[in-house]
Amino acid sequence: MTFDDRQTRLQDIIDEPLNTWLDQAVADGNVPIGYTCSYVPRALLSLDGLIPVRVRAPGAAGTEIAEIYLSNVTCSYSRSLLEFAMDDRYDFLGGWVFAAGCDHIRRLLDNLDYLISPDFSHMIDAPHRKGDAALDWYIKELDILLEKLADHFGIDTGEEALNAAVINQNRLHRSLKEIADLRKQKQPPISGTEFQRIMMASLTVPAGDMEKALREIKDSVARREKQTDFRARLMVVGGNIDDTDFIHTIESTGGLVVADRFCTGSLPGLVMLDESNDPLTEIAQKTLLETSCPRMMEDFQDRLGSIIDTAREYDVDGVIVEHIKFCDIWGIETGLLVDGLREAGLPALRLERDYRQTGEGQLRTRIQAFLERMNK
């Protein structure tokens, strides 16, 4: 399959919550588990026939039903998920695992439990800081999750199974990183939209299917023409961006997104786990210490520093910091990040958006003006 054909196929895959690969896996007896936050370690949801599925609402339109419960001043991601859930679009999930990531997502679980009573739902009480006590707490929380998974799904959560999950995740991340790293090139062979499509597929399909696709992509991408038709190299920083349309809107103005530092992006998302370490401790450590989310209340300076470092590593011309309207954490963080980036000499644009793809014209205008300001 050519690279472009594979892209079309991947787009079809990610356009449905229950895609064909997942559907086949379910038919084969596997159990997809939905999760909504980066503080839910995927490795733990990959044990013994479970498949981690980052829950999305592709093509979400109105959220009229969800607003009755979640109100219209909550994040449109959480509302869109509830809308889809009320429309039975997630009936294929065997369960939901949340992390106490933010107020809106927590309330989503409250409302899901009330309205749908999923067979299995669990909230990981993720700490808001690092430090030894917080890490111990988090390890215990993950332990509790494993017990519940074992109890409910009858799966093997022993050390051998965990080690295997670590190895498998590393393998997948390694393959993804090989493609992600191509974007450091001056003229990468792959656009941000194309890469985002690959990332989203990797978060929503069985790992085996993804690895097979990645092998083909790696072969076909080597034969691709370099991207030359762009005005500026951009980094996007933000939260849950799971729709390729947003990246596409940015790139339609002539900016090339080379660095994707958001929850569903490759930075720092494709963390490699130390296979010689105790698996649960290693998973907890890497997740808590490296996920880099503004919910971690002590780490603003670290986050800013790491964004600046990444920007230099990827030789970006400017940074777009996005947030979904009504998000409290990102709402406050964005302004501070943009100020900090500008002080460090990096042009930065703050972009407020809706989870659903609307107001494309307005977004394009802002991004075009940003590129013009950079003289690009």
Partner 1 sequence: MKPSLIGDLAVYGKYSLVNWMKIIILVVRHGPFDVIRDIRRYPWILVLLQVNSLMWRFIRGRTGRYREATAVVMSDIVSSVIRMMEDVFFRGNRLVIHEDMVPPEIMRAMGLAPFMTELMGILMPMIKPHSVENYIDASENEGIPPDICSLPKSTMGLALKGHLPPALAVVTSNLPCDGGMSSYMLIEKKLKLPVFRLDIPYNFDTDRAVKYFAGELRRMIDWLEAHTPGRMDWERLREICEERNKMLEYELELWDMIRIRPAPLAGEPVWLSHMWNFNVTPGSPASTRIYKRITEMGRKNLEEGVSSIKDERYRALLWNPPMIHFIDIYNWAEKTYGISLIMDSMTFNRIPMIDTGTQDSMLEGLGRTIMAGPMARHTRGPAKNYLDDIFHIHKHFDIDMVWVAGHIGCKNTQALNGMLRELCRRESIPLLIINYDLSDPRIVSREGIIEQIDHFMENIMKAEKMAS
Partner 2 sequence: MIVAGCDVGSLTAKAVIMEEENIISQAVVLAKTRPSESAGDVMEKALKKAGLSRGDIRFAVGTGYGKDQVSFVQRVESEISCHAKGAWWNRPAVRTVIDIGGQDAKAIQLDDKGKVVRYIYNDKCASGTGRFLEVMAEAMEVDLEKMGDIGKQAKERITISNQCVIFAETEVVSLINEGKDVSAIINALHRAMAGRVVSLARSIGVETDVVMTGGVAKNSGVFDALADCLNLPVNHLDGIDPQINGAVGAALFAREYA
Q: What are phi and psi of 37, to 5 degrees?
A: -150, 150
Q: Which is nearer to partner 2, 268 or 331 (CB)?
A: 331
One-letter identity of residue 376: K
Binding mask 52-81 for partner 2 (x = CB under 8 A): ---------xx-xx-xx---x---------
Task: Please give the residue ranges that form the binding site for partner 1 (CB under 8 A).
Answer: 68-71, 73-74, 100, 102-104, 106-108, 110-111, 113-114, 123, 125, 127-129, 133-134, 137, 140, 294-295, 297-298, 300, 325-326, 328-329, 331-336, 338-339, 350, 352
Residue among 85, 44, 36 at smallest CA distance from 242: 36
Q: Which long-range contacts (C-beta less than 8 Å, at least 24 apart) are formed by 309-313?
A: 310/235, 310/259, 310/261, 310/267, 311/235, 311/259, 311/341, 311/346, 313/184, 313/259
Distances (CA, A) of 150 to 120, 143, 157, 187, 281: 12, 11, 6, 47, 18
Pair 290, 268: CB distance under 8 Å: yes
**Smallest separation, CB 189 to partner 1 (Å):** 37
Which regions of 16-67 does DSSP assign to beta strands (E)?
31-35, 50-54
Residue 218 to residue 196: CA distance in whole angstroms:
15
Per partner kind, with CB cut-offs from 5 to 8 A, the member of partner 1, partner 2, none near residue 287 is none
- Which residue, 133 or 272, has its beta carbon nearer to partner 1? 133
* Interface with partner 2, residue 243, by CB under 8 A: no
Min dist CB 102 to partner 2, Å, is: 20
Q: Does 245 bind partner 2 (CB under 8 A)?
A: no
> Of these partners, partner 2, partner 1, none, which one is at the site of residue 295 (CB under 5 to 8 Å by kind)?
partner 1
Q: Are 250 and 257 in contact (CB under 8 A)?
A: yes
Q: Contacts with partner 2 in 149-188 (CB under 8 A)?
A: none
Nearest to partner 1 of 53, 105 (CB atom): 105
- Give the shortest CB-61-to-partner 2 separation in angstroms: 4
Out of 2, 20, 187, 358, the residue judged to bind partner 2 by CB under 8 A = 358
Dist CA 194 CA 212 (whole Å): 17
> Measured from the CB atom, is 268 or 331 closer to partner 1?
331
Of 2 and 72, the one with the shorter C-beta distance to partner 2 is 72
Using omega within 30 degrees of 0 as the cis cutoff, is the peptide bond preceding 268 cis?
yes
Q: Does 114 contact partner 2 by CB under 8 A?
A: no
> Minimum distance between the CB of residue 72 and partner 2, rounded to whole angstroms?
7
Query: 361 touches which of partner 1, partner 2, none (CB within 5 to 8 A by kind)?
Result: partner 2
* Contact status, residue 33 vs residue 22, Cβ threshold 8 Å: no
Sites of contact with partner 2 (CB under 8 A) = 61-62, 64-65, 67-68, 72, 354, 356, 358-362
